[in-house]
Amino acid sequence: MAKYGCPFCEGGYAHTSGLIPNPNEYLVTSAVQWDAMPEMLSPDDLYAQAAKMYRCVNCDAIAIFWRGFESDEMPQWYRPYS
């Protein structure tokens, strides 16, 4: 199971694989991208075009893969307000 360690809490991580659908995975798209999408868009096409976001299982920080998994880029982490 692929997971990335959370930089904000001890022992936290974000799963990028596992259950389908993944309860910690979200799709992110801009309003401009959304408006440019065809009216009839398959779920697979939407999934391919959107950035992937995952929540830390401990602290709810989020990890976003802005360029998908094809690049060697690590996720960008964002900390929730406390």
Give the DSSP letter of residue 9.
S
Give me the chain's average pLDDT, please: 88
In what side-by-side order are the strands of the sheet with 76-78?
Answer: 25-28, 51-55, 62-65, 76-78
Report how far residue 29's alpha carbon sits from residue 66's, in angstroms, rounded to the nearest whole number.
Answer: 10
**The domain containing residue 35 runs over which residues?**
3-78
Residue 16 has pLDDT above 70, yes or no: yes
**Count of domains forming the chain:** 1
**pLDDT band, very low/low/confident/very high, at 54 (cuts 50, 70, 90):** very high
pTM of full prediction above 0.95: no
